[in-house]
Amino acid sequence: MTSWTPDELRRIGAADELQIAPTLADGTLRPPTTIWVVPDGDDVYVRAVNGTDSSWYRSTRTRHQGHVHTDGVDRDVTLTDVPDSDPVNARIDTAYRTKYRQYDTAYVDMILTPAARAATLKLTPR
């Protein structure tokens, strides 16, 4: 299994936004969506602010693969669901609050809702 390099983790941690393009059933990439991203240790996580009804999230359901780009990081990834019961979700909540504290709390709170938590994905480089 491939892992993020220390430089990629640093860049992702410093970037406000990430472009994610899920792989569709026919193998092509969906147009990218801009989302917030947080690292946790050597792992990287994203959430769909609109939960599992989000169109970009729904497009991850078939192949669980995609492509991400931000600040010099350009990688194909595997997208793994993170169950709400996974203890990492509490750390992801804290990471979002910390990383995006300069934004209005109303925006940050949207990524911490039960609906958004239900759409948490771990990004693993391929």
Digit-coded pLDDT (tens) for 82-113: 998 999 999 999 999 999 999 999 999 999 99
pLDDT at residue number 90: 96
Q: If you ran DSSP here, which 8-state letter would residue 29 be given?
A: B
Digit-coded pLDDT (tens) for 14-33: 999 999 999 999 999 999 99
Q: In this structure, which CATH number among 2.30.110.10, 3.40.50.720, 3.40.50.1860, 3.30.200.20 belongs to the domain 6-125? A: 2.30.110.10
Digit-coded pLDDT (tens) for 53-88: 999 999 999 999 999 999 999 999 999 999 989 999
Q: Are strands 65-70 and 37-40 parallel, antiparallel or unpaired?
A: unpaired
Query: What's the token pair of residue 51?
Result: 């939960």
The three-class DSSP label of residue 48 is coil
